[in-house]
Amino acid sequence: MTEDEQRDRLHLERKVEKAVFEAGKALMELRDRRLYRSTHSTFEEYCKDRFGFQRRHPYRLIEASAVFDNLMKMCPNGTQTETESSDAKMCPNGTQTENEEMCPNRSQILPTSERQVRPITKLEPQQQWEVWQTAVEEAGGKVPSARVVGDVVQRIMERTKAPNPYHIGEVCQILAKDNSELRGKGGC
């Protein structure tokens, strides 16, 4: 293949990969603006009839698109989804953009499927970016699998767990106030 054909192939592959996240954005707008209401009473019914999605799938796509956007915002220049060029993007004063410390190699590997970002949807944007970068490193600079991303999230969660200050045999009072997991378990 010629160099132009290879560049076109890469550009088209990136469009296909990004399509999942564009679908999530479209679903979010359909849901938020209730554009399904003329034919269906619920968003879930609409998605099932129109797209064949099971109940949870459209919400996963919506969550994944939010993560994808966060990752793009952390390193908007030189990402794999844009047309690749050997010219570095420079600021008007001749210096590189302020995102260089986040993306020192001027290129960012982005997710290609909803499943890859599912483990990081509940994290804060900065944490999402850190987890994703760690997962890319562990995958050898390639797009990491969902398992690799999940493992990174699991290690972070284990590392940040608060120690239990109580010992077996101690009596303590459980307050279920703002913790839904403790509802119905209040008392001693």
Q: What is the tens place of the pLDDT at every residue in 27-64? A: 999 999 999 999 999 999 999 999 999 989 999 999 99
Per-residue pLDDT at 49: 94
Confidence of residue 119 (pLDDT cuts 50, 70, 90): very high
Per-residue pLDDT at 22: 92
DSSP H helices in the chain: 3-32, 43-51, 57-74, 114-117, 125-138, 146-159
Q: Each residue of 131-180: pLDDT tens digit?
A: 999 999 999 989 999 999 999 998 888 777 666 777 788 777 767 666 76
For 26-45, the DSSP string reads HHHHHHHTTTTTTT-SSHHH
Per-residue pLDDT at 18: 83
| pLDDT tops 80 at residue 12 | yes
Per-residue pLDDT at 76: 54
Confidence of residue 78 (pLDDT cuts 50, 70, 90): very low
End-to-end CA distance of the chain: 72
